[in-house]
């Protein structure tokens, strides 16, 4: 009797095993042969689960994004301070732990793929990320407005703050970049403008 393969799980396993290779080599230098060897499957078997190398990379990015989203939402929901909620939302831009650096590298590689050889699926995914995080940021600001901690015009800053976060994220890959605290300082300055009073507890 032929062995029954859990195709979605096998697909996830292959993408997971390819993550380290993707981080080491980048999209351009990564090959299907290396991915197959690393996953312990025949090269031809890869195409039972993925249409192309781009499809594998997209699965890697989806896995990283799903894990990151869960952590962000947990952090946002388990803190009361508005500043901490906003910083949690922008953790990818400012975190210097190993996991944060790894996720930043995956995201930057994803951006470079979108710029160099965009597929409709990847571009849609990128826009959906922007829309999702902007909406989460607006929810945080709206919560602050309803609680009387933030001024009503606070929502007007959501899109601009997201763009600044993206800029910090992309520039942080440069060797001579030394403005690591720029986003944190900007968030503090912005809150001084839009807060009502000093109490944020």
Confidence of residue 105 (pLDDT cuts 50, 70, 90): confident
For position 1, what pLDDT does the model report? 46
Indicate if the pLDDT at residue 126 is higher than 70: yes
127: left (phi over 0), alpha (psi -120 to 50) or beta: alpha
Work out the average pLDDT over 132-142: 94
Q: Could you tell me the pLDDT band of residue 200, with boundaries at 50, 70 and 90?
A: very low
Q: Report the topology of domain 57-194.
A: Tetracycline Repressor; domain 2 (1.10.357)
Domain boundaries along the sequence of the chain: 57-194
- Let me know the angle formed at the C-alpha of 7 by 21 and 128, rounded to the nearest 5 degrees: 65
User: Mean pLDDT: which of 30-39, 48-57, 132-141, 171-180 is highest?
Assistant: 132-141
What does the block give as tokens for 84? 């901490």
| Separation of alpha carbons 73 and 54, rounded Å | 28
**Residue 140 confidence (pLDDT):** 95
Report the alpha-carbon distance of residue 74 to residue 138 in Å, rounded. Answer: 17
């Amino acid at each position: 009797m032929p062995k029954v393969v859990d195709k979605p799980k096998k697909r996830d396993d292959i993408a997971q095993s390819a993550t380290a290779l993707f981080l080491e080599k980048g999209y351009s230098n990564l090959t299907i042969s290396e991915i197959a060897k690393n996953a312990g499957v025949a090269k031809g078997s890869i195409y039972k689960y993925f249409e192309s190398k781009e499809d594998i990379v997209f699965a890697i990015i989806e896995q990283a994004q799903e894990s990151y989203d869960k952590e962000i939402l947990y952090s946002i929901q388990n803190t009361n301070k508005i500043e901490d909620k906003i910083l949690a939302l922008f953790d990818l831009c400012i975190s210097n732990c190993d996991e944060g650096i790894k996720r930043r590298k995956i995201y930057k590689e994803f951006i470079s793929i979108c710029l160099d050889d965009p597929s409709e699926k990847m571009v849609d995914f990128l826009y959906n990320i922007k829309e999702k995080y902007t909406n989460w940021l607006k929810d945080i600001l709206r919560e602050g407005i309803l609680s009387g901690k933030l001024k009503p015009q606070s929502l007007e800053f959501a899109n601009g703050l997201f763009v600044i976060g993206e800029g910090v994220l992309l520039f942080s890959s440069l060797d001579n970049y030394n403005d690591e605290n720029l986003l944190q300082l900007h968030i503090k300055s912005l809150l001084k403008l839009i807060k009502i009073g000093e109490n944020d507890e």
